[in-house]
Amino acid sequence: MANPITSLRIDHITKRFPGIVACSDISLSVGKGEVLALVGENGAGKTTLMNILMGLYTPDEGKIYINNKEVVFKSPSDAFAYGIGMVHQQYMLVPNLTVTENIALGLSQMKTEQIASRTLERIKKAAKLDLNAVRRHIIAISEHYGLAVDPDAYIWQLSVGEQQRVELVKTLCFGAKFLILDEPTSALTPQETDELIALLKRMSNELSIIFISHKLAEVKALSNKVAILRGGKLVFRGNTADHSAADIAALMTGHEVYLPTNQSKQKPGEPMLEVHNLFVRGDRGNMVLNKLNLTVRAGEIVGLAGVSGNGQRELAEALTGLRVIESGEVTLDGVSLVGKTPKQIIAQGMGYVPEERNIEGIVPSMTIRENLVLKDIARAPFSMSGVLINNKKIDENADAMREKFDIRCSSVNVAAGSLSGGNIQKVILAREISRGPKFLIAVYPIRGLDLGAAEFIHKQLLALRDSGVGILLISEELEEVINLSDRIAVIFKGQIQRTLGHGEATQRKLGMMMAGVKEI
Amino acid sequence: MLDFIVLFLTVGIPLSSALLLASLGETVNQRSGVFNLGCEGVMCMGAFVGMFIPFMVGGSGPVAWYVNVAGLLAAAVVGALFGLLFGVVVIKFGAPQGIAGIGLQLFGTGLAGSLYRHFIGGAQGVAGINSIRIPILSDLPIVGKMLFSCNPMVYVAFLMVPVVHYILFKTPWGLRVRACGTFPRAADSMGIDVSKTRYQALAFGSAMAALAGAYLSVCYAKIFTDTLVGGRGFIAVALVYFGRWSPVGVLGGAMLFSLAQALQLAVQAYGFSAFPYEFLVMLPYVLVVVVLVFVGKSKHVGPAMLGKPFNREMRT
């Protein structure tokens, strides 16, 4: 068996996926008993980097050293052999197997020489026939670390918090002394989160831990080192104690970008969108919006700032009819949207620039001209009573939009999916704005776009605001939110933490509020 | 009336064997996350190979019996090879499983028919494997004829129900198979080779399907024809859903279907003319469809990732 890990070093790792560089030249190191927080926005490359460390992805360039010796991991079992274990963000538990069966599954797979202790060797043999030995091992581990699990429960019967404990027990049963945790608290309730943090703090006496997070309170509470990734690059590393949560937030999201700012003195009008005591569930069935209240008036941009995963996506989906509203009231221009279909909500004057522009915003295989009329194809002038399509009008519309919104394409007859991100976003914006909406929800509208496209899109949003449309701008980029918004609402754990006026908000202040601090 | 019931069961039990073997095999396939719609083609190949060996070798007495057994085993080997071939198409190259399965069905059925006409031709039979009478027990009234005078392969088929159950639920390999069908990413994260496990499951499942085909040609009809398998491969696939991916459930499905078929035969034999027998011919098929409509839809039972190719570095 391998010697215990005293140091782990990632050296100039690069990983490319078709079309993107997920990790670019990243170097990191973790010593014995250290807790490293790996921080960054969605898509910054944190998970990819950890999957490389676990042998799930092969790096294109770079090396991994353990105790100053180079190692090559071809599969997770190679990583287990060195005592590295990972708890993935999406739990790697087979729902229709019991806790014991799930753990036996991994144990039965280990090669004898990889097994860390003689007890484990006996267990491994036992896993062939006897689940009782595995069960005893689970109970021993769970008692040692104070992780309560029921070895005979089926995974699908367990709550998210319980599944997390099973994941931890599983990793420890495999003999891990070096834990990687990918956003361990993202699906937990606040109480479960507190328990987990306390538990990990205790465990860090015996183990080294890397944990991925973008919740800065946890980073401060748990880690002694922090590394920040942005766009696949390592932008910062240092000791956690030397930096405030606000500093880390700014480093995580900040871009030095010149973008237009909201300088209009126009007075906003009547309330356009009113959200009252909104409760909405997330994909895992837990409540992600908890009694959220928000008002956006006509001719006003309200920026919704927050670290992603605090309910932004669910809010946008609930407002557009894509997600069921558990309880609460939502009105658009005085008309309730609760229980309405997306079609009815669109007819009510709702515009939507979704987060996933390539999947939700356009139909990639359809042409630009078709994508531009997606929402209106069933109506005049683009079709006669929804039966016969009027190609001439659609062409005229496409040419006008291409001109007005500066959509750069060889022809409006090419597939929209072949365009660059910025041009796809222009197609979406053209479609939404030209429909004359009363209200627009824009989710991460310039994420991943180049400066030129970002500037154009911001100008369009400001012009739309000046024409009297209410806009909810959801973004993690503090600069974008500060530049554009008349008011800024900070969302934290499914609630509006506080609302700040234009000029009242600074990056530092927002960063702290995004991290959960209420009063500054 | 008693005679009628005895006839009905005596016909029904052997009828279920081929279905049972094939669907137990398909259960293992599907538990690993691959559905093999080409089961029918594999059965046809099994049926041909199974009778081809005894037909070419011949022999008499106990030798003939062993040669027939060799035919069954050869059929299983050819079936496993077909399973691996299918695996290359759907696992290695990630082809859509439904279409690839239809391809395998056409290929297997066509190849078996062509080889039969080339090497054998005409309606020629083999001695085959005959039913055995278990001493004493077979002399019991009623059940003696029903349960203790069957073909050895019938016993094998029924024995495979607990065997497959044990394999799936009590061995590490079965655990891996189920994990790969439900959540391959999790299996992969624990160091399990998802592709290898699926290849193994396909080889096993297809060997079972081929054995089912060979049962038909060597033990049941003792002859090969193009229509011998007659859609049983497709019914076998349906029965897996019917049985909710459990060997015992599959047994229930195979029995229900075969007994419905036997009922129809018994009714014809007895010449009941109260209503047209054609309706009874339809009965088993209608039953399967109706039951599939009402069967439990709990998502926690079956292989959730059935039919989805797995590629570790494919981002979802």
The confidence score (pLDDT) of residue A125 equals 58
Which residues neighbour A493 within 8 Å (Cβ) at sequence distance 6 or greater? A190, A290, A310, A311, A516
Strands (DSSP E) contained in B43-113 are none
Q: Which residues of B touch A156 (CB under 8 A)?
A: 300
Interface touch A96/B188, C-beta < 8 Å: no
Q: Which residues of A touch B185 (CB under 8 A)?
A: 90, 92
Alpha-carbon distance of A512 to A478, in angstroms, equals: 12
Long-range pairs, B247-251, Cβ under 8 A, ≥24: B247/B24, B247/B27, B247/B160, B247/B161, B247/B162, B247/B164, B247/B165, B247/B168, B248/B161, B248/B165, B250/B20, B250/B23, B250/B24, B250/B27, B250/B161, B251/B20, B251/B158, B251/B161
Nearest-by-Cβ selection for A127 from B172, B178, B186: B172
- The CA–CA distances, whole Å, from B58 to A30, B53, B70, B126 equal 72, 8, 12, 8
Tell me: do A185 and A125 sit in the same domain. yes
Count how many domains chain A has: 3
Cβ–Cβ contact A105 with B under 8 A: yes
Q: Which residues of B touch A110 (CB under 8 A)?
A: 191
Nearest-by-Cβ selection for A56 from B178, B179, B312: B312
Nearest to A230 by CA among A257, A255, A250, A252: A252
What confidence tens digit (pLDDT) does each residue in B151-173 have? 899 999 999 999 999 999 888 89
Number of C-beta neighbours around residue A436 at 10 A = 10
CATH architecture designation of domain B2-294: Orthogonal Bundle (1.10)
The confidence score (pLDDT) of residue A112 equals 47
Tokens 């069966």 label which residue? A101
Tell me: do A388 and A336 sit in the same domain. no
- The CA–CA distances, whole Å, from B298 to A96, A205, A381, B24, B241 equal 11, 43, 47, 21, 12
Interface touch A56/B188, C-beta < 8 Å: yes
The confidence score (pLDDT) of residue B236 equals 94
In a domain, A219, yes or no: yes
In a domain, A106, yes or no: yes
Tell me: do A265 and A297 sit in the same domain. yes
Beta bridge partners of A208: A178
What residues of chain B, 189 to 208, have a C-beta less than 8 Å from chain A?
189-193
Interface touch A94/B192, C-beta < 8 Å: no
Tell me: do A141 and A164 sit in the same domain. yes
Tokens 């190719």 label which residue? B309
Cβ–Cβ contact B178 with A under 8 A: yes
Q: Which residues of A touch B315 (CB under 8 A)?
A: 17
**Is the reported ipTM for this assembly greater than 0.85?**
no
Interface touch A97/B315, C-beta < 8 Å: no
Nearest-by-Cβ selection for A105 from B190, B300, B302: B190
Q: pLDDT-based confidence at B315, cuts 50/70/90?
A: very low
Nearest-by-Cβ selection for B190 from A96, A109, A156: A109
Cβ–Cβ contact A83 with B under 8 A: no
Among A365-379, B222-236, B271-285, where is mean pLDDT lowest?
B271-285
Interface touch A76/B190, C-beta < 8 Å: yes
The confidence score (pLDDT) of residue A341 equals 94
Average pLDDT, 10 consecutive residues per value, chain A (520 residues):
73 81 88 88 79 90 91 87 87 90 82 54 59 89 88 86 89 89 76 84 89 82 89 86 80 59 78 94 87 94 87 93 94 93 94 89 91 87 81 92 88 85 90 93 82 83 93 86 91 90 82 76
Tell me: do A85 and A111 sit in the same domain. yes
Mean pLDDT of B120-146: 80
Bigger pLDDT: B18 or A157? B18
The confidence score (pLDDT) of residue A399 equals 93
Are A155 and A163 in contact, with CB atoms under 8 Å apart?
Answer: yes
Cβ–Cβ contact B163 with A under 8 A: no
Pairing of strands A350-353, A439-443: parallel
In a domain, A290, yes or no: yes
Tell me: do A302 and A443 sit in the same domain. yes
Chain A closest CA to B256's CA: distance in Å? Answer: 27
Nearest-by-Cβ selection for B183 from A77, A94, A129: A94
Closest chain B CA to residue A124 = B172
Looking at residue A499, the DSSP 8-state letter turns out to be: E
Nearest-by-Cβ selection for B191 from A95, A102, A109: A109
Nearest-by-Cβ selection for A94 from B170, B182, B193: B182
- Position B211 pLDDT exceeds 60: yes
Q: Which residues of B touch A91 (CB under 8 A)?
A: 186
Which residues neighbour A515 within 8 Å (Cβ) at sequence distance 6 or greater? A215, A216, A217, A220, A245, A246, A249, A307
The confidence score (pLDDT) of residue A110 equals 66
Closest chain A CA to residue B166 = A129
Interface touch A105/B192, C-beta < 8 Å: yes
What confidence tens digit (pLDDT) does each residue in A381-406 have? 888 876 788 889 999 999 999 999 98
Nearest-by-Cβ selection for B190 from A17, A106, A156: A106
Cβ–Cβ contact A57 with B under 8 A: yes
Q: Any idea what the CATH number is for the domain that residue A513 is in?
A: 3.40.50.300
Among A219-228, B114-123, B299-308, where is mean pLDDT lowest?
B299-308
Interface contacts (A, B; CB < 8 Å)? 79
- Position B210 pLDDT exceeds 60: yes
Q: Which residues of A touch B32 (CB under 8 A)?
A: none
The b/e string for A362-373 (b: 16+ C-beta within 10 A; e otherwise) is: beeeebbbbbbb
Alpha-carbon distance of B185 to B206, in angstroms, equals: 25
* Residue where a domain stops, chosen among A436, A469, A490: A436
The confidence score (pLDDT) of residue B299 equals 63
Mean pLDDT of B88-106: 94
In a domain, A2, yes or no: no
Alpha-carbon distance of B157 to B255, in angstroms, equals: 12
Q: Which residues of A touch B313 (CB under 8 A)?
A: 17, 57
What residues of chain A, 62 to 81, have a C-beta less than 8 Å from chain B?
75-78, 80
Tell me: do A343 and A402 sit in the same domain. no
Number of C-beta neighbours around residue A250 at 10 A = 18
Looking at residue B306, the DSSP 8-state letter turns out to be: T
Element containing residue A469 per DSSP (H, E): none
Q: pLDDT-based confidence at B310, cuts 50/70/90?
A: confident
Nearest-by-Cβ selection for B182 from A17, A95, A129: A95
Tell me: do A248 and A261 sit in the same domain. no
Cβ–Cβ contact B188 with A under 8 A: yes
The confidence score (pLDDT) of residue B156 equals 94
The model carries a pTM of 0.73
* Residue where a domain stops, chosen among A436, A451, A478: A436
Strands (DSSP E) contained in A125-248 are 178-182, 208-213, 225-230, 233-239
Tell me: do A43 and A130 sit in the same domain. yes
Tell me: do A299 and A389 sit in the same domain. no
Taking the domains of chain B in order of start, what are their residue ranges?
2-294
Alpha-carbon distance of A287 to A493, in angstroms, equals: 10
Interface touch B176/A108, C-beta < 8 Å: yes
Which residues neighbour B35 within 8 Å (Cβ) at sequence distance 6 or greater? B26, B29, B97, B98, B101, B237, B240, B306, B307
In a domain, A216, yes or no: yes
Nearest-by-Cβ selection for A76 from B170, B191, B301: B191
Alpha-carbon distance of A47 to A44, in angstroms, equals: 8
Give the count of alpha carbons within 13 A of B179, CB side only: 34
Chain A closest CA to B42's CA: distance in Å? Answer: 30
Interface touch A156/B300, C-beta < 8 Å: yes
The confidence score (pLDDT) of residue B254 equals 93
Cβ–Cβ contact B212 with A under 8 A: no
Chain B closest CA to A262's CA: distance in Å? Answer: 38
Pairing of strands A301-305, A470-475: parallel
Closest chain B CA to residue A54 = B189
CA dihedral B134, B149, B53, B80 (to 10 degrees): -90
Q: In what order do the strands lie in the sheet with A470-475?
A: A350-353, A439-443, A470-475, A301-305, A487-492, A495-501
Q: Could you tell me the residue range of the domain that residue A406 belongs to?
A: 361-436
Q: Which residues of A touch B301 (CB under 8 A)?
A: 96
Tokens of A489: 């609402």
The confidence score (pLDDT) of residue A463 equals 93
Alpha-carbon distance of B162 to B248, in angstroms, equals: 8
Nearest-by-Cβ selection for B179 from A57, A80, A97: A97
Chain A closest CA to B201's CA: distance in Å? Answer: 16
Mean pLDDT of B257-276: 80
Q: How far apart are the first and last CA of chain A?
A: 53
Interface touch A94/B313, C-beta < 8 Å: no
The confidence score (pLDDT) of residue A185 equals 79
| SS3 (DSSP) at A63 | strand
* Residue where a domain stops, chosen among A381, A405, A436: A436
Tell me: do A212 and A299 sit in the same domain. no
Cβ–Cβ contact B304 with A under 8 A: yes
Percent of chain B as helix, strand, coil, to the nearest 5: 70, 0, 25
Nearest-by-Cβ selection for B172 from A91, A94, A128: A128
Which of A14-18, B132-136, B250-254, B270-274 shows the highest mean pLDDT?
B250-254
Alpha-carbon distance of B272 to B294, in angstroms, equals: 31
What residues of chain A, 119 to 178, have a C-beta less than 8 Å from chain B?
127-129, 154, 156, 174
Q: Which residues of B touch A154 (CB under 8 A)?
A: 300
Q: Which residues of B touch A76 (CB under 8 A)?
A: 188-191
The confidence score (pLDDT) of residue A43 equals 63
In a domain, A476, yes or no: yes
The confidence score (pLDDT) of residue B316 equals 41
